[in-house]
Chain A
């Protein structure tokens, strides 16, 4: 800005006009300064909002992963329970088979007595034949 200084005193109309221009210019300067501060504040807010958004996204990802892991854990536990139930059933089946085996062996022992009686019967027949 070139305000310029006159050698002779300027007419009063010119002075009034110059003062008005100065005042308008000063107002514009203050407006510009305040607006610049507003822009800076908005930039800061925008930056903070972007950071918050990024953090929220990170939290969402972590929570989704957490949810998936909990589901997997639940699935693994269910598998373990099912396997244990089946193990119990298989062991019961083994016990049943062994109980039947024991029963059978007991019966077999009885049949040995039968065999002895058979041998006695054979011997009786042989005696009859000898006579």
Chain B
């Protein structure tokens, strides 16, 4: 085997080795990229699911808000009705107070026994 032959064999061996190394490296890199893409897809799916769940929750809250707004509107209607009732009650109190003042301000009035007894009876203190 001549030196030239040996060199050629060595060159061929080196070339084969380099090709094999390149193939392995390339295959590894492809696997890594595939895994990375797969991981990203899984993460995206998980996050998408999370987003859907959050949207569902938001929709439930919207329904609850609608219900509470309707309830608040009903209560406000009730408060308006009660305010009207209160105004009437305040008017009645004012009138009653005025009547008391008028009754107290009245001077001595002549009254016979029978009428007095009737008035007292109306108050639950009839004459005996």
Contacts and interface: CB of A to CB of B under 8 A. Distances in A.
B16 A55 contact: no
Interface in A79-95: 79-80, 83-84, 86-87, 90-91, 93-94
A104 B89 contact: no
B16 A118 contact: yes
Given A42-B93, A56-B79, A77-B54, A101 B30 contact: yes
A94 B41 CA distance: 6
B100 A80 contact: no
B40 to A, nearest CB: 3
B128 to A, nearest CB: 7
A87 B51 contact: yes
- Dominant secondary structure at the A interface: helix
B33 A100 contact: yes
Nearest to A27: B106
Interface in B27-57: 29-30, 33-34, 36-37, 40-41, 43-44, 47-48, 50-51, 54-55, 57
Contacts, number: 214
B99 A34 contact: yes
A55 B119 CA distance: 41
A65 B69 CA distance: 10
B10 to A, nearest CB: 10
Interface string B69-113: 101100110110011011001101101110110111010111111
A69 B108 CA distance: 68
A19 B111 CA distance: 7
Contacts of B85: 48, 51
- Dominant secondary structure at the B interface: helix
> A interface, how many residues as a size bin?
35 or more
B88 to A, nearest CB: 8
B95 to A, nearest CB: 8
Nearest to B48: A87
Nearest to B44: A90
Contacts of B71: 62
Contacts of B113: 3, 22
B49 to A, nearest CB: 8
B75 A72 contact: no
A9 interface: no
List the 5 closest pairs (A to B, CB-CB), nearest first: A94-B40, A73-B61, A80-B54, A83-B51, A90-B44
Given A33-B119, A37-B99, A128-B8, 4 more contacts: A97-B34, A108-B26, A125-B8, A125-B9
